[in-house]
Amino acid sequence: MSTSLRGNWNYPTTIWAGPGRIAELADACARTGMKRPLIVTDEGLIGAPMIRNALAALKNSALFGAVRGNPALTHVEAGLRAYRAGGHDGVVAFGGGSALDAGKVVAFMSGQTRPLWDFEDIGDWWTRADPAGIAPVVAVPTTAGTGSEVGRAGVILNEETHQKKIIFHPQMMPRIVISDPELTVGLPPGVTAATGIDAFVHCFEAFCAPGFHPLADGVALEGMRIIHRFLPRAYADGKNIEARAQMLAAASMGATAFQKGLGGVHAIAHPVGSWFNTHHGLTNAVILPYVMTYNRRAIEGKADLISRVLDLPKRGFDGFLAWVIDMRRELGIPHSLADIGVSVDKAAIIGREAAIDPSASGNPIPVDAAQLEHIFRAAVAGRLDAVDAAA
Ligand SMILES: [Fe+2]
């Protein structure tokens, strides 16, 4: 089976996919010219055998493992100090979305003189960066959701404003990705579900975002088909290597597709994560049906197409929505934001910040702060029937 799950791909970057391919980590670093890599990982992975093995395999490497969920400027700054103190010349970003984002941003900032927030993803701000000061990255995902391993941005929390900022530069794309499903077999079912639905939402929001982008649409549709088939299997049996390999591919597909845009789910999930420190994938998973219901008028045709590609028992928007709700329940995802510790006392702020989140512009129906607040309140209450679909 392992040979059939193996592939070398070259879009959107070089991806070495397949069980056991972490053995090629030193080769990947050598190909990017790294001689002294800094391994950036999540706090939770510091002692893991896969990190110890990576340190042993990479000569002259060091470990920076102080990255938390929803990484903030302080984590990036600490990583930069470690990078400079060790005289490193590249980053191995190894872990879940937080480690990948933090690692990519450390490599990006390693040779910049301007402050981090000057490189927020606004207009052409990325051109302020000195391209010669961007160090190479080898990315090793250990969850299948974020897709950050094939993304050109990192999401960093500004702790002063409580806003998640997208730091963007085309050269932030990792040079080589090692997509090894054996690294994800230890993910607990809850994390498998939450990150897997994040990948689904990337595909879904990209597919429904307005605009002419058949490349993204094709990738998104196939990504949803794979997740429909394999997420329940990866959840039920974490050691199912085929399901893990398919989910890793689907996660990369989601992030490839969302160059086209995201939408209301991510627009609301970002400020909720900033204010309540909720898990990104889990937050998206809870919010998804509320935003779908709000967007109904604009996405009925696309929802019908998705229901046919996924070969759902019931077709059309209603069949698709019913499947989303069933899948969510079967994967142990709660129905309301209140269930994950989110309250309505910040509803006005969430609405305002969701409206200015870059994801909001990809929503299939234009949404303002009041409408996003309305959807948020329904999601906190767990009342799908309270969502007024846009006319
Ligand atoms: Fe996401």
201 CA distance to ligand 1 centroid (A)?
7
21 CA distance to ligand 1 centroid (A)?
26
356 CA distance to ligand 1 centroid (A)?
17
pLDDT at 391: 77
Which token pair is 95?
């872990």
4 CA distance to ligand 1 centroid (A)?
29
8 CA distance to ligand 1 centroid (A)?
25
Q: Within 13 Å and on the Cβ side, how many CA atoms surround 306?
A: 30
24 CA distance to ligand 1 centroid (A)?
28
d(C-alpha 4, C-alpha 169), whole Å: 34
Reference 145, options 42, 227, 237, 25; nearest CA is: 227
Strands 153-158 and 137-141: unpaired
144 CA distance to ligand 1 centroid (A)?
11
149 CA distance to ligand 1 centroid (A)?
13
Note every long-range contact of 11-14, with CB atoms under 8 Å and residues 24 or more positions apart, other chains counting. Answer: 11/256, 12/150, 12/173, 12/256, 13/150, 13/173, 13/174, 13/175, 13/176, 13/177, 14/175, 14/176, 14/177
Name 376's Cβ contacts closer than 8 Å, sequence gap at least 6. 268, 272, 337, 344, 347, 350, 351, 354
pLDDT at 194: 97
284 CA distance to ligand 1 centroid (A)?
7
Strands 62-67 and 37-42: parallel
d(C-alpha 154, C-alpha 147), whole Å: 11
pLDDT at 126: 96
pLDDT at 2: 45
258 CA distance to ligand 1 centroid (A)?
9
260 CA distance to ligand 1 centroid (A)?
14
**Is-contact 272 278, C-beta < 8 A?**
yes
181 CA distance to ligand 1 centroid (A)?
20
345 CA distance to ligand 1 centroid (A)?
24
Give the predicted TM-score (pTM) of the model: 0.95
Q: What is the pLDDT along the chain (391 residues), one digit of tens a residue?
A: 445 899 999 999 999 999 999 999 999 999 999 999 999 999 999 999 999 999 999 999 999 998 898 899 999 999 999 999 999 999 999 999 999 999 999 999 999 999 999 999 989 999 999 999 999 999 999 999 999 999 999 999 999 988 889 999 999 999 999 999 999 999 999 999 999 999 999 999 999 999 999 999 999 999 999 999 999 999 999 999 999 999 999 999 999 999 999 999 999 999 999 999 999 999 999 999 999 999 999 999 999 999 999 999 999 999 999 999 999 999 999 999 999 999 999 999 999 999 999 899 999 999 999 999 999 999 999 999 999 888 7
Task: Return the axis-axis angle of helices 296-309 and 280-294, rounded to nearest 10°.
Answer: 110
281 CA distance to ligand 1 centroid (A)?
6
The secondary structure of the chain, three-state, reads CHHHHCEEECCCCEEEECCCHHHHHHHHHHHCCCCCEEEEEEHHHCCCHHHHHHHHHCCCCEEEEEECCCCEHHHHHHHHHHHHHCCCCEEEEEECHHHHHHHHHHHHHCCCCCCHHHHECCCCHHHHCCHHHCCCEEEEECCCCCCHHHCCEEEEEECCCCEEEEEECHHHCCCEEEECHHHHCCCCHHHHHHHHHHHHHHHHHHHHCCCCCHHHHHHHHHHHHHHHHHHHHHHHCCCCHHHHHHHHHHHHHHHHHCCCCCCHHHHHHHHHHHHHCCCHHHHHHHHHHHHHHHCHHHHHHHHHHHHHHCCCCCCHHHHHHHHHHHHHHHCCCCCCCHHHCCCHHHHHHHHHHHHHCHHHHHCCCCCCHHHHHHHHHHHHHCCHHHCCCCC
Distances from the Cα of 91 to the Cαs of 61, 100, 182, in angstroms?
9, 10, 22
36 CA distance to ligand 1 centroid (A)?
31
254 CA distance to ligand 1 centroid (A)?
9
378 CA distance to ligand 1 centroid (A)?
21
pLDDT at 134: 98
391 CA distance to ligand 1 centroid (A)?
27
pLDDT at 70: 87
